[in-house]
């Protein structure tokens, strides 16, 4: 483990220098890794493991995602199977189904979790709230997690570019005495940048908070609020969108991703500096109580229950599509589609 100083806090992380790919291959040389689910995380993790030389098979029900797996080079009857067949063959069962799908498949999946196998997740939801999900694993298996901090698409894209997406990892249950080395080997095998330790509970809580907060929920709310105020005060859709979204995503985000917001503050105009320094406090003070309320809702299991109840409704997909359509058809994101077309690389 490498000891790193994160803003004055010492944290141990695992990098590819401490745990090289050759070591990961050695640890997992006798394992059959069964990737269950080929939706969001499945393709990236499965393909990266395969390309890195591990013994990987995929379990997926018939349908569009099954056909996608075939298009990605998985061969029915050889490396592509039903969920049941793959789970039976795998010594490491990577459960990469959606949270709702995990709950529905669990009674079937559980019967293939025989002694000594490892059950792997990339999200702590099902185990953290297993009083609600019913996903209580057998005591005679390893239960582990590697959670990439991004989408499966990003994991795959960055892998193909020779880069890595950072991941957290956790061991919930160590039956074999090999749970940690299995976990780290899988983390390196899927193409992680560096790995940092967490718990299933911490990962699930931080993940749900992030999705509802700065990653998606809060950012949409903030962008829409600013866009609306500009439009209500006579600014055109193009001007409102460029000042709210386009400059942020195309100009500033790449810079502060590379150099940090502190660098951004030090290298903008004096007018921007003064305004940003003056207004970051009021925004922080207004937003923090909302984040505290959100975190409490997540930690209590309330957000998990909302998700479970929502996904269990027979007309869930119909209602979801209506909500997504309303977002897609809003003026701000219809403006976005036009602005994207006008970018120089598209002309």
- Please tell me the distance from the alpha carbon of residue 89 to that of residue 263, in angstroms, as a whole number: 51
**d(Cα 95, Cα 122) in Å, to the nearest integer?**
8
DSSP string, 148-203: ESS-HHHHHHHHHTT--EEEEEEEEE-SSS-HHHHHHHHHHHTTEEEEEE--HHHH
Hey, which residues does 12 pair with through a beta bridge?
3
For 277-304, give the DSSP string. HHHHHHHHHHHHHHHHHHHHHHHTTHHH
* Per-residue CA distances from 79 to 70, 90, 205, 293, 340 (Å): 10, 11, 34, 46, 39
C-alpha gyration radius of the chain = 22
> Exposed e or buried b for every residue in 207-232, given b needs 16+ CB within 10 A?
bbbbebbeeeebeeeebbebbeebbe
Taking Cα atoms as reference points, which of 39, 135, 130, 128 lies closest to residue 83?
39
Distance of CA 17 to the CA centre of its chain: 24
123 is a catalytic site residue: yes
CA dihedral (222, 228, 233, 237) in degrees, to 10, reads 110
Q: Which two tokens stand for residue 169?
A: 């990892």
Of these residues, 123, 235, 284, 302, which one is catalytic?
Answer: 123
**CB atoms < 10 A from the CB of 65, how many?**
16
Catalytic residue list: 123
């Amino acid at each position: 483990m490498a000891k790193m100083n994160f803003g004055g806090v010492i944290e141990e992380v695992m990098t590819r220098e401490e745990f090289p790919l050759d070591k990961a291959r050695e640890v997992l040389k006798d394992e059959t890794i069964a990737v269950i689910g080929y939706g969001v995380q499945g393709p990236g993790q499965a393909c990266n493991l395969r390309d890195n030389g591990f013994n990987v098979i995929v379990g997926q029900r018939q349908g569009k995602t099954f056909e996608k797996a075939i298009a990605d080079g998985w061969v029915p009857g050889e490396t592509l199977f039903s969920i049941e067949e793959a789970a039976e063959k795998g010594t490491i069962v990577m459960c990469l189904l959606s949270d709702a799908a995990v709950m529905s498949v669990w009674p079937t999946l559980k019967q293939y979790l025989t002694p000594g196998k490892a059950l792997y997740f990339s999200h702590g939801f099902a185990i953290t709230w297993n009083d609600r999900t019913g996903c209580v694993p057998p005591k005679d298996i390893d239960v582990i997690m590697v959670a990439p901090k991004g989408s499966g698409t990003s994991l795959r894209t960055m892998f193909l570019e020779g880069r890595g997406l950072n991941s957290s990892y956790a061991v919930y249950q160590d039956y074999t005495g090999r749970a940690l080395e299995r976990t780290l080997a899988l983390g390196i095998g899927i193409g992680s940048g560096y790995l940092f330790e967490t718990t299933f509970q911490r990962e699930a809580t931080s993940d749900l908070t992030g999705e509802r907060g700065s990653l998606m929920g809060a950012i949409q709310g903030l962008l829409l609020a600013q866009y609306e105020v500009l439009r209500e005060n006579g600014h055109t859709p193009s001007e409102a969108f460029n000042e709210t979204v386009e400059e942020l995503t195309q100009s500033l985000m790449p810079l502060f991703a590379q150099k940090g917001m502190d660098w951004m503050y030090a290298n903008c105009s004096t007018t921007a500096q003064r305004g940003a320094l003056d207004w970051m406090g009021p925004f922080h003070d207004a937003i923090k109580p909302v984040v505290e309320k959100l975190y409490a809702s997540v930690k209590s299991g309330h957000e998990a229950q909302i998700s479970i109840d929502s996904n269990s409704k027979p007309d869930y997909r119909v209602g979801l599509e209506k909500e997504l359509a309303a977002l897609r058809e809003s003026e701000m994101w219809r403006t976005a589609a036009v602005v994207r077309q006008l970018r120089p690389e598209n002309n």
